[in-house]
Structure 1
Amino acid sequence: MKKLIFFLCLLTFQACSKTDGGENPDNVQQPDPTPEPVNTAPTIPNLIFPTNGLLCSDNPLEFSWNSSTDKEGGAISYEIELAEDNEFENIIEKTTVSETKVTFALEKGVQLNWRIRAKDSEGEYSSYSSSWNFYTEGEGIINYLPFSPALINPKAFSKVEGNMVQLEWTSSDVDEDSLLYDIYFGDTTPPGLLQENSEDSTYEISINQDKTYYWKIVVKDGNGGESIGDIWIFKS
């Protein structure tokens, strides 16, 4: 009998323990974890000097730009690049500074391009600024070459709809000479000569669909100086 009473008591205790209204810890809703703060990139710096298309007589030359801001309030540094081409494939100077100016001693009588981007204390970069080109004054130079052509339309590696495309570019000359353009275009590389000595910086041409097209511009100043542009690519 004592064994029976003990067994009944044990069953009653177990039943009560399961129905005592307590919550299963596994079913308790946990609070959402606090999200990690997202770091944002600094704002894009704006170039000040040397201005676009300038003939620079100072050498060494001081470069300057407007400061960027950082939403998180972190320290900002600036990466500056100088290149011989406007695609920044042939970089001759690249450095990082904490101020909004830096000085370089440069080769005389050369055309260069420059741009800036900002970096915060977390290593996040802004996009690059616009790129500007300039000439360093050379000794005894009578005629400066035109600046290399810069692409406007169609954007590099873009897809063009329709059966016509408007080619568009820009260039300038520190001597303020009138410029002529040789246009090279085709679906093979290097592209062949399409038109010579064009006075316009635009050209409309028909294209076929599902093709890759290549084109480039040679800028001439009429005094024997010429600058050969990069090969640009788009698809139809």
Structure 2
Amino acid sequence: MRKAIIIFNLFSICFLAVSCSKKEAANQIPSIVQLEFPTQDLLCIDNTIPFNWSDATDPENDVLEYNVIVAKDRQLTDVVENRTLSASQFTVALEKATAYYWQVSAIDVNNNQRSNSSVFAFYTKGNGVTNYAPFMADLQTPENNGSVAAGTVDLVWEASDINTTDTLTYELFFGEDSTLTSIDNTLTAKTFSVSVVSGKTYFWKINVTDNVGAKSIGQVFTFTVD
């Protein structure tokens, strides 16, 4: 009998040890929503905008909400609307003749995790406006607050304009602090190579100008060199 008790206790201890060694599976973030309206680079003829996006799914079937940010800058810091919703749509009246940028994040309410959509740009039409300034440049690489290897680095950006026939030129600002130096204001390609030194931090931005002189002022990105 005593032998049986000892065997049972050993079995119980081993079972508990195995059970405790198993870690719970990490909770997974919701799927990324697809922005449906306003579409990328859309000129909205009405300034009352019905925002729509696809529903997200959650691997654990947790309850989801959506955080919607509408801003006047691509980095979503000059915010005009910031809402958390259970539905995948809402409508809001915005200023006319203004460029906006928007993003939707799907939020796992149970575990406080989120996934962020792309950022889309759109314009609201103005009364009698025939030319619009270009959208802010979308800085692609290096990523903001990212790091790169020493040597030659390609600065890469994207740009667009509601007036699709306009010709765009780019002014690059670059430097080792937030007081940037204009490197070239006649660029037509959306890339520029710079030399960077290990251990330093660099800052850059791109202003975009169309062929009638309308300009959008870019935001500053920074990166460090390994």
- Indicate whether the TM-score tops 0.5: yes
Whether 2:101 is the aligned partner of 1:118: answer no
Q: 2:174 maps to what in 1?
A: 185
Whether 2:45 is the aligned partner of 1:57: answer yes
Deviating runs (4+, > 4 A) in structure 1?
19-22, 24-28, 33-38
* Pair 20,170 (structure 1): closer, same or farther in 2 beyond 3 Å: closer
The counterpart of 2:189, out of the listed 200, 217, 223, is: 200
CA contact (8 A) 1:77 1:99 kept: yes
The counterpart of 1:146, out of the listed 134, 142, 147, is: 134
* Pair 234,26 (structure 1): closer, same or farther in 2 beyond 3 Å: same
Q: Distance in 2 between matches of 1:40 and 1:187?
A: 39
Q: What is the TM-score with the length of structure 1 in the denominator?
A: 0.84
Name the structure with the higher strand share.
Answer: 2
User: Following superposition of structure 1 onto structure 2, how do residues 4-15 of structure 1 map, counting pairs within 5 Å?
Assistant: none
Q: 2:81 maps to what in 1?
A: 93
* Pair 230,24 (structure 1): closer, same or farther in 2 beyond 3 Å: same
Q: 2:12 maps to what in 1?
A: 29
CA contact (8 A) 2:168 2:211 kept: yes
Task: Give aligned-pair identity as a percent.
Answer: 33
CA contact (8 A) 1:158 1:235 kept: yes
> Which shows bigger deviation, 25-34 or 121-130?
25-34
The CA RMSD measured in Å over matched residues stands at: 2.2
How far 1:38 sits from its partner (Å)?
5.0
The counterpart of 1:161, out of the listed 126, 136, 149, is: 149
The counterpart of 1:219, out of the listed 198, 208, 211, is: 208
CA contact (8 A) 1:213 1:235 kept: yes
* Pair 74,20 (structure 1): closer, same or farther in 2 beyond 3 Å: closer
> Which shows bigger deviation, 100-109 or 24-33?
24-33
Count of residue correspondences? 218
Q: Which amino acid aligns with 2:65?
A: S
Q: Which amino acid aligns with 2:199?
A: D
**Deviations 1:133-157 (CA, angstroms, capped at 9, x unpaired):** 1001111212211100011111112
Q: 1:80 maps to what in 2?
A: 68
Structure with greater Cα Rg: 1
Q: Which amino acid aligns with 1:211?
A: K
Q: Which amino acid aligns with 1:125?
A: Q
Q: 1:14 maps to what in 2?
A: none
Whether 2:28 is the aligned partner of 1:40: answer yes
- Secondary structure of the residue aligned to 1:159 is strand
Q: Distance in 2 between matches of 1:20 and 1:216?
A: 78
CA contact (8 A) 2:153 2:195 kept: yes
CA contact (8 A) 2:173 2:206 kept: yes
* Pair 37,234 (structure 1): closer, same or farther in 2 beyond 3 Å: closer
Q: 1:4 maps to what in 2?
A: none
Q: 1:174 maps to what in 2?
A: 162
* Pair 78,191 (structure 1): closer, same or farther in 2 beyond 3 Å: same
Q: Distance in 2 between matches of 1:92 and 1:122?
A: 28
How far 1:116 sits from its partner (Å)?
0.5
Q: Which amino acid aligns with 1:187?
A: E
